[in-house]
Amino acid sequence: MELIRIYSADERVETINRIYTESFPVQERFGMDIIMRLADEGVLEVFAIMQSGITAGMLITIVDDVSAYIAYFAIDKAFRGQGLGSEVLSGICSTYSGRQVVLEIELMDKNAPNYEQRIRREKFYTQRGFSHTGRFIRYSGVTYEIMFAGKQRFDKAAFDRLMDSRRDKEFQPLLFDAGHYSTYIFDLDGTLLDTLDDLTASTNHAIASVGCAPHSREEICSYVGNGIEKLIHRALPEDVTQEVFEKAFAEFKAHYKLHCNDRTKAYSGIMELLSTLKAHGKKVAVVSNKADFAVKELCGEYFGGLADICVGEREGVRKKPAPDSVLTVMDELGSQPKDCLYIGDSDVDIATAANAGIDCISVLWGFRSEGFLRQSGAAALAQSPNEIAVFTLCDDNDS
């Protein structure tokens, strides 16, 4: 086996591109023209994996003086099952001797359709000297766990510098660590429950009562997050009188009290996540800007004993992003900031966690997009409820 570094003019690029395209789903790939341009510029290193004079695989790395990051590594189907992968890994470690060799693996998500394949891949790497780092990287809409070999300890700062040095329009990685927490504090709307249909119905009922035209579900989605008073303010024209606002607000509260659970539902995977957290002895709370009566009714209906404390908007208590309700919940549960994780779907939740001095995971199944959450300072992102367990229950799962 031989690793041959290639550039855009090499005749093997066509074969490399075929193996690359066959081995990685479209959402995980960059265009081969971009890759080879970066290879010519020295940003990436591209290798043909040669076996008996035949291109048997491909390898793409990002390298500096401390780290060698295996961005893509694939063996052609015709050469799989012959031990070539082990040879290549050994060759990579030799090529980058003295550096930490870093690679990514798919998350050990039990709900993934290829979970067994993921387990086999993780076992393959650990048997060949790679170790878990507890560090995650997300780009192109996919999150991976980082593993490393070649050094006794993973140099996280050096790896992060390497990734930062390669950022461009096409590559914007988000890096974050696994955390270990005793207390999980959740937002409600857009995080645990999909409440948007009922919020839309009650908002449109309220503004219709004062002669205003209805809004679409998408428009209402953009208004939520700062409490029901703000929701009605945003749904009404800017120039309405206080009297009109108060009438619409009263109509909303009366209607929503009766209809807050007509079409609301828990997001897929939420009940399993909460059950898993309780099975691991974790404390669970809900803190929302929704009216307290609705929070308590919905949490009682959906979560029962799975949530220890549930609080909403109350008279005399500042709403999120002020940390007041979160700090009260932490005090009632006897939890310290270092032991707490906040989970939410909005910029308000990111700010709330920061103001409370606790870690935050932003979720991607709620009311805000990944781009918006990144721009708002999201430190970690979860694609599904089970990813929260993957990110935070590593040690518990291993025991």
**Which positions are annotated as active-site residues?**
187
Q: Are 285 and 207 in contact (CB under 8 A)?
A: no
Task: Please say whether the dihedral angle defined by the alpha carbons of residues 160, 360, 171 and 108, taken in this order, is positive or negative.
Answer: positive
CA dihedral 261, 264, 270, 274 (to 10 degrees): -10
First to last CA, the chain: 39
CB distance 324 to 330 below 8 Å: no
Residues in the chain: 399
Q: Do the strands 131-139 and 142-149 form a parallel or antiparallel pair, or are they unpaired?
A: antiparallel
Helices (H), the chain: 13-23, 32-41, 84-95, 115-127, 156-165, 196-208, 217-223, 228-235, 242-259, 270-279, 292-302, 324-333, 347-356, 370-375, 385-392, 394-398
**C-beta separation of 106 from 144 below 8 A:** yes
CB proximity list for 157: less than 8 A, separation 6 or greater: none
